[in-house]
Structure 1
């Protein structure tokens, strides 16, 4: 797409957001308004209910959305992960059943991957499922499940072949959450929030045809989904990072912390690193669009995760340095400000979504060909 067309689209996005923001709608109502105006699933093919936007247009949309400070997208997991996975691996019946309510934000999804003994080591999944009549019956526990307390459905990686090990014998199941066999328990965090949850499945049921891909071949589907996770929405994430960094700089200028050459150098370094991240993300997306260098085996996803997680964690530390003594004080009832929340939440950046240790192992073993790490007895 030519630059003038891209800039015309940017103007369209900005104009729509300017006309509808700020908003007093709750996040769910706001996201449904986006759907009504065609601003959900913008990268999906038109034949599956999306807008079929080019890569350049998708980048523009996510950048402008983040730059405008618009409310959180409540169905990221459905729109950015499960939807593309169903388009790639699902049956026509599954696509017909699930894609329209995802696009309309009528059904919300969460991800059932991590377990107490299988966090970043996804191949160690112990949740099991068996066929009973016309249903899969699922037993197990998932943890760190984002927004499960608000979701309608969960996509679950479960072991369906008795005696199988590692990535063999796994299946990718679509499971309704509103049933007696499922209990969701929120996990309270240092920030006081509870975005993450434990999900207990005890005889939970789902229809036998709600397996994505072939039974026992769920690893390939799960890896395909993780490829979508590092998609174009990362550009919006980086715009959000830039807004946080600008806020930290403004606070440092206001309270005099910017006069300290060490603080000034640290903030300048974060700005340079963010610019490099942005350039690398654009290069990776362009390679993916061209059909090269985008899969997990190439290491791009692991490198990106290591870089942004470490950067954001350092930003949280810098924000506390800028705050000085004020960063140590909380309000009544443990009321923390946005910078304290940034610091506390970013401590987990190097753990969730695949810990730093696992990302380095992936790069060492699968990309560099180094000997595999010995497994514990």
Structure 2
């Protein structure tokens, strides 16, 4: 056993000894955080032990074997996968205090990045953050904001200097979603649900203490978030986890689904998903040495493509039964999951996998330029002040 594994074992034993039956869920999660078992690769004092990222799975196994309850990450997806890694990288000591509330689910996060005119081109955001005394006044509109209806805080990219090229004039903030001037409106999807929202910001006051990173560093900070987001979406799935587990399980459990013509397709997709899983393991090992790089885009692209094909195969397997749908009534889910849903829902919802976390088209551009080293697209606006760009 390595020294790092021993540290994890000691932390698990201490957390188990400190947990009582009288505690509520938030208190139980807080014990895990305080003993460094929230994100074991994070520094001590930030919910971690400072150990290798590759030991996260080992830590999760030890926590489970000790009978300790962990928070459902789907209830705070943005907080766990995007806000926390960004805050621990760029946050002040005071800002890092919110990490505990993220883990205990006392503070739910959403992401205010995309705009009606700046989705795929994030650097083109027009939402303004203007100096106002000891803080900033933020005005603008965001869209495709997952879970904003349930969020307490948001990670926000806004323009603080329109006199410089678009990538240079951005800043990154932590925004209180309950502040005056924040309005959330649901966007109904093809599934009938409204996971996404448009968010209107009208003269929202943001204190100086909520600036994450340096003023004008927003593009750099946002890329840390985006790289972690793509790894969170595309990586970390156990063998036969996610949709391949659903489809393969249905194949085994229902002999009537076993059309010989579909067997080769199922095997092909199983291999594709297994390759993607191993690529995710490699990304985790790279993450142990620093921040994830553009390779996370490949994991996210594979995830979207595989989900499209797997949900389509599931409909082919299930036939007419797979075309039935429960309801298209407007619903506001508290979390997103494709597991435990009907095939028709999964097929429709998978279409969003190629949009969220970066569209597949933009992801391919990132891979071609930053991974393969191919020539970049011609960008006429690269060195032009944002205020001088045609709107």
Normalised-by-shorter TM-score class: 0.7 to 0.9
Equivalent position of 2:245 in the other structure: 246
Secondary structure of the residue aligned to 2:94 is helix
1:360 counterpart (361, 364, 377): 364
Q: 1:91 to 1:126 in 2, by over 3 A?
A: same
The alignment yields a C-alpha RMSD, in angstroms, of 3.5
Partner of 1:104: 104
Residues 105-140 of structure 1 deviation map (CA, whole Å, 9 limit, x = unaligned) = 221111111111111211111111101112210111
Q: How does 1:192-231 map to 2 (within 5 A)?
A: 192-231=192-231
- Equivalent of residue 301 in structure 1, options 296, 301, 320: 296
- Contact 1:127 / 1:158 at 8 angstroms: preserved in 2? yes
Deviation at 1:264, TM superposition (A): 0.9
**Residues 259-270 of structure 1: pairs in structure 2 closer than 5 A:** 259-270=258-269
Equivalent residue number for residue 126 of structure 2? 126
> Corresponding residue for 2:136?
136
Task: Quickly say closer, same or farther: Cα 1:89–1:330, change in 2 above 3 A.
Answer: closer
- By how many angstroms is 1:83 displaced? 2.3
Deviation at 1:241, TM superposition (A): 6.0
CA, structure 1 residues 222+317, in 2 after alignment: closer, same or farther (shift >3 Å)? same
Deviates more, 1:279-288 or 1:205-214: 279-288
> Which residue is equivalent to 1:329?
324
Q: Distance in 2 between matches of 1:101 and 1:308?
A: 29
Residue 202 of structure 1 and its aligned partner are, at CA, apart by: 0.8
User: What residue is the counterpart of 1:25 in the other structure?
Assistant: none
Rounded Cα–Cα distance in structure 1 between residues aligned with 2:93 and 2:374: 39
Task: Indicate the SS of the match to 1:106.
Answer: coil
TM-score, normalised relative to structure 1 = 0.82
5+ unaligned residues in a row in structure 1: which ranges?
Answer: 17-28
- Give the match for residue 22 of structure 1: none
Residue aligning to 2:148? 148
Matched with 1:284 is: 283
Residue 20 of structure 1 corresponds to which residue in structure 2? none
Report the alpha carbon displacement of residue 375 of structure 1 after superposing the two structures with TM.
6.5
Mapped to 2, the partners of 1:161 and 1:256 lie a distance apart of: 62
Shift of 1:54: 3.1
Per-residue deviation, 1:192: 2.5
Relative to 1, partners in 2 of residues 1:185 and 1:61: Cα closer, same or farther, differing over 3 Å? farther
**Superposition map of 1:151-162 within 5 A:** 151-162=151-162
Confirm whether residue 178 of structure 1 aligns to residue 205 of structure 2.
no
* Per-residue CA distance 1:76-108 (angstroms, 9 max, x = gap): 322332222222212223224x23322332211
Secondary structure of the corresponding residue to residue 100 of structure 1 = helix
Q: Distance in 2 between matches of 1:332 and 1:366?
A: 43
Unaligned 5+ segments in structure 2 are 17-23, 332-339, 382-389
Report the Cα offset of residue 214 of structure 1. Answer: 1.4
Given the superposition, is the C-alpha separation of residues 357 and 233 from structure 1 closer, same or farther in structure 2, using an over 3 Å criterion? closer
TM-score (norm 2): 0.79
Q: 1:366 to 1:246 in 2, by over 3 A?
A: closer
- Which residue in the other structure is 1:338 paired with? 342
